[in-house]
């Protein structure tokens, strides 16, 4: 009797081997691989036709994973505590562990996100952080089904981890916290006013109590 294939195990094995996998997230389908292998990330840039000035973001299964590869300050902890898992990517300074990762031309910062999708989180729990970007050709819309993605990427992707229903979602909001002020690089599923409100509500109150 033939062994039953486990798509999750197959995807984890492929990603850890430096091959490309497609996975569902709470926003859109992503295409990714291990972030610490320069040949793997080069394969990802090539498959997407993505220019290297657009650095690859990294998905994590937990804030603990994120803090191993990115330097969190109090603002980052508050935003992650409020909006993770979810559609918020935080651009932060790299730690020693991620400093040499070939994610693009920018080498001092890293964009990290914890997605809100059970399949994505299950994969990331097995693999650790993965370099994952939207599953599309650079500059084109992201398809909502695996069938469309297979037509685009074909054998360039080793494993397609598919959701039962089409994925239709807004991209994540990307926030740069490397300077003194919060800077929104891309407003997506979360609005800037929500982020600022979350930070302001955490400020200590002044005056007599």
Name the percent of the chain lying above pLDDT 90.
87
- The CA-atom distances, in angstroms, between 174 and each of 33, 111, 123, 187 are 20, 8, 22, 7
Name the percent of the chain lying above pLDDT 70.
94
The predicted pLDDT at position 5 comes to 76
The predicted pLDDT at position 80 comes to 97
Res 29 pLDDT > 80: yes
The predicted pLDDT at position 164 comes to 87
Compute the 3-state secondary structure of the chain and give helix, strand, coil in percent, each to the nearest 5.
Answer: 35, 20, 50
The predicted pLDDT at position 129 comes to 98
Beta-bridge partner residues of 112: 58, 90
The string of pLDDT tens digits covering residues 122-145 is 999 999 999 999 999 998 999 999
Q: Average pLDDT for residues 90-110, to the nearest whole number?
A: 97
């Amino acid at each position: 009797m033939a062994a039953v294939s486990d798509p999750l195990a197959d995807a984890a094995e492929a990603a850890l081997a430096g091959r490309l996998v497609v996975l569902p997230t709470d926003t859109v389908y992503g295409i990714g691989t291990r972030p610490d292998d320069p040949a793997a990330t080069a394969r990802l840039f090539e498959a997407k036709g993505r220019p290297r000035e657009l650095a690859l973001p990294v998905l994590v299964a937990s804030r603990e994973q994120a803090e191993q590869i990115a330097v969190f300050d109090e603002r980052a902890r508050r935003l992650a505590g409020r909006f993770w898992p979810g559609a918020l990517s935080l651009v932060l300074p790299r730690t020693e562990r991620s400093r040499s990762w070939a994610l693009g031309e920018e080498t001092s910062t890293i964009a990290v996100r914890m997605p809100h999708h059970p399949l994505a989180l299950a994969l990331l729990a097995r693999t650790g952080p993965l370099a994952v970007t939207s599953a599309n050709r650079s500059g084109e819309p992201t398809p909502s089904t695996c069938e469309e993605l297979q037509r685009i990427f074909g054998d360039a992707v080793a494993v397609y981890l598919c959701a039962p229903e089409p994925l239709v979602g807004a991209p994540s909001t990307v926030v740069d916290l490397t300077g003194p002020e919060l800077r929104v690089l891309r407003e997506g599923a979360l609005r800037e006013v929500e982020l600022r409100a979350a930070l302001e509500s955490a400020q200590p109150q002044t005056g007599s109590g």
